[in-house]
Amino acid sequence: MDKVVEKVVAGDVRSVARLIRDIDDGIPEVRESLKGLYPYTGNAYVIGITGAPGVGKSTLVDQMLSHIRKKDKTVGVLAVDPTSPFSGGAILGDRVRMQRHSMDSGVFIRSLATRGHFGGLTQSTRSAIDVLDAMGKDYIIVETVGVGQDEVDVVKTAHTTVIVVIPGMGDDIQAIKAGILETGDIFLINKADREGTDKTMSDLRLMIEMDQRKYEGGKWKPPILKTESIIDRGVVEFLEEVEKHKKYLTETTEGLELRKSKGKVREELGEMVKNRLIQEVLSKLTETGEFDGAVQAIVEGKTDPYSACDALVLPRLGLHTG
Amino acid sequence: MDKVVEKVVAGDVRSVARLIRDIDDGIPEVRESLKGLYPYTGNAYVIGITGAPGVGKSTLVDQMLSHIRKKDKTVGVLAVDPTSPFSGGAILGDRVRMQRHSMDSGVFIRSLATRGHFGGLTQSTRSAIDVLDAMGKDYIIVETVGVGQDEVDVVKTAHTTVIVVIPGMGDDIQAIKAGILETGDIFLINKADREGTDKTMSDLRLMIEMDQRKYEGGKWKPPILKTESIIDRGVVEFLEEVEKHKKYLTETTEGLELRKSKGKVREELGEMVKNRLIQEVLSKLTETGEFDGAVQAIVEGKTDPYSACDALVLPRLGLHTG
């Protein structure tokens, strides 16, 4: 057995940290370790926490850690950080709040920031989840800001997806978060002591009812809960809902289909194949200078991008051009 | 010369409509027409209009059409529609407002809705822009909702990107639209008769100043304008800013670099190569049943996704596995 695999499965924190960093950096060699780790995965329960900066995700996660640890379960946290100049700082600051768990060997917290790498955030997150899963963590919490298609995809890696909002987001919830709302299994209105909580509650309820494609008979109907995570209010009740959703996924046929279905494997393998193709071919075309040559030819008007693309791609696949 | 190319260049509306529909449907044969049309492109000026549903984009575009037509310039409009169940209906309704221009042969309006196709929204939009450009339109307006990475990419196809907001979006502007704010060349506060306009103005100003990476000395400093497009207030002034930005792009060295630079060609060709790879390989793996076989093997625990991916991709590229 691969030495890294051996150490990760044994729970060696330093090996886990290094492997996740290598995943984040897009180092190709991690694939061999991931192959070896795969048979040890499938036991962790993945909870996705998503919401705009400022809704209190980190405080919530911090409280979740305390409650989960009280039950003697272990937890891994992956904080998926956006690289935007507007929110990077705030998120980094929030991270500090989880520090009180940093000496607890039952908790492992890491950030991922791979946006822009070939393969992207979603693949890195899935691989990092596999590592924490193989390491033996009972729960894995994936925290994201939930902006953009990338992060909608990241959220889909979770078993239970939790959407966190705060009162007073008003009409904008509907307008802006459409793509991500559909992925929500549980909705939390955090900072629920603030004005506007009832309005936000009724807005969310309306939207959930509108999305009938998802919430047909027999399917999970996403609850909307109020929390004030800073004083730990509502967090236990929230975790009970997570357990209910877990039970739903484990015990019902609709749930089973969602959880480890052929459809899910198909989707994940499809993305992996795409990313791999891009990585192998585009990096080679760059190395050989073919890509730069094509760019130059287009700039000089000697060819068009459509023909240049044919000429770059088709021979690599053993296909003729034109 | 290809008959379609000939007809599009001659401005034949029916051929243009059919070609854009075929692009939207992802029909591979359009590539040959696009190759033929490319030498006729590069003359149109592309304006991107983006903002959440309800900010009044369609009314604004409608007023823009009137003013541009008064100057005897021709315009194409591409309305990039999201497929989300929450906003689809509203957008369709808005489109009706542009109908008053539908009998004007100097105006050509089409919707694109290709989300989910291989190649995606960005590629379809670029190709549709090429078609309208080759058709001889002086201006092309691309209207998007600006949600998600896909649409941030769509916005980047424009020469001048206009971000439309309304008063009272408050703190959420910063939280949610980070990715797209960085792409803005002009900011419009529409419905500026409403309460909160000054607050929104100062929020936007702060954010623009924060994004120092973009707005260093000598570079274009995005203006923030107030409009009430429903009564045509501020629209002429807005179009003057568009002309100023156009002049900036055409006449300054920084601008030239942005407009038809090697970097832009490189980016576009890179994406085209990626999309083409995915299309050629993934569709073939699906046809032959290899992809389904791999999914089945993973589900049965006979292999892991990382090894399955190697086995699917590497032979296609003439590389050995393992």
pLDDT for position A202: 85
Among chain A residues, the shortest Cα distance to B209 is held by: A86
| A71–chain B nearest CA distance, Å | 31
pLDDT for position B308: 95
So what CATH class is B40-259? Answer: alpha beta
pLDDT along chain B (322 residues), means of 10: 91 93 85 92 91 83 95 93 41 52 83 63 87 96 74 79 80 50 87 88 79 64 93 96 92 66 83 86 88 92 92 85 55
Tell me which of A94 and B307 has the higher pLDDT: B307
* pTM score, whole prediction: 0.68
Residues of A in contact with B207 (CB under 8 A): 86
Among chain B residues, the shortest Cα distance to A33 is held by: B306
pLDDT for position A84: 37
Tell me which of B87 and A145 has the higher pLDDT: A145
Of A31, A178, A262, the CB nearest to B84: A178
Q: Averaged over A300-320, what is the pLDDT?
A: 88
| A266–chain B nearest CA distance, Å | 6
pLDDT for position B1: 65
Pick from A30, A35, A215, A264 the residue to mutate for testing the B interface (most B CBs within 10 Å). A35
B103 reaches A (C-beta below 8 A): no
Put simply, the chain A residues between 152 and 191 with a CB less than 8 A from any chain B CB are 152, 169, 171-172, 174-179, 181-182
Among chain B residues, the shortest Cα distance to A268 is held by: B305
What's the per-residue H, E or C state across chain A?
CCHHHHHHHCCCHHHHHHHHHHHHCCCCCHHHHHHHHHHHCCCCEEEEEECCCCCCHHHHHHHHHHHHHHCCCCEEEEEECCCCCCCHHHHHHHHHHHHHHCCCCCEEEEEECCCCCCCHHHHHHHHHHHHHHHHCCCEEEEEECCCHHHHHHHHCCCCEEEEEECCCCCHHHHHHCHHHHCCCCEEEECCCCCCCHHHHHHHHHHHHHHCCCCCCCCCCCCCEEECEHHHCECHHHHHHHHHHHHHHHHHCHHHHHHHCCHHHHHHHHHHHHHHHHHHHHHHHHHHCCHHHHHHHHHHCCCCCHHHHHHHHHHHHCCCCCC
CATH 3.40.50.300 intervals, chain B: 40-259
CB contact under 8 A, B277 and A278: yes
Put simply, the chain A residues between 260 and 299 with a CB less than 8 A from any chain B CB are 260, 262, 265-266, 268-270, 272-274, 276-278, 280-282, 285, 291-292, 294-296, 298-299
d(CA B122, CA B268): 10
CB contact under 8 A, A306 and B278: no
| A37–chain B nearest CA distance, Å | 9
Residues of B in contact with A297 (CB under 8 A): none
Across A84-88, A279-283, B32-36, B229-233, least confident range: A84-88
pLDDT for position B128: 93
A239 reaches B (C-beta below 8 A): no
CATH of A41-255, one of 3.40.50.300, 3.40.50.740, 3.90.470.10, 2.40.30.170: 3.40.50.300
Which of A314, A275, A294 lies closest to B266 in space, CA to CA? Answer: A294
pLDDT for position B140: 96
Of B150, B178, B316, the CB nearest to A84: B178
CB contact under 8 A, A281 and B317: yes
Average pLDDT of chain A, as a whole number: 82
Residues of A in contact with B148 (CB under 8 A): 148-149, 152, 179
pLDDT for position A15: 95
Strand partners, B109: B77
CB contact under 8 A, A54 and B175: yes
Split at pLDDT 50, 70, 90, the class of A206 is confident
pLDDT for position A96: 53
Strand partners, B48: B142, B161
Interface A-B, measured as beta-carbon pairs within 8 A, has a size of 193
A206 reaches B (C-beta below 8 A): no
Q: Averaged over A276-286, what is the pLDDT?
A: 86
CB contact under 8 A, B87 and A181: no
B34 reaches A (C-beta below 8 A): yes
Across A55-59, A83-87, B2-6, least confident range: A83-87
Rg (CA), chain B: 22
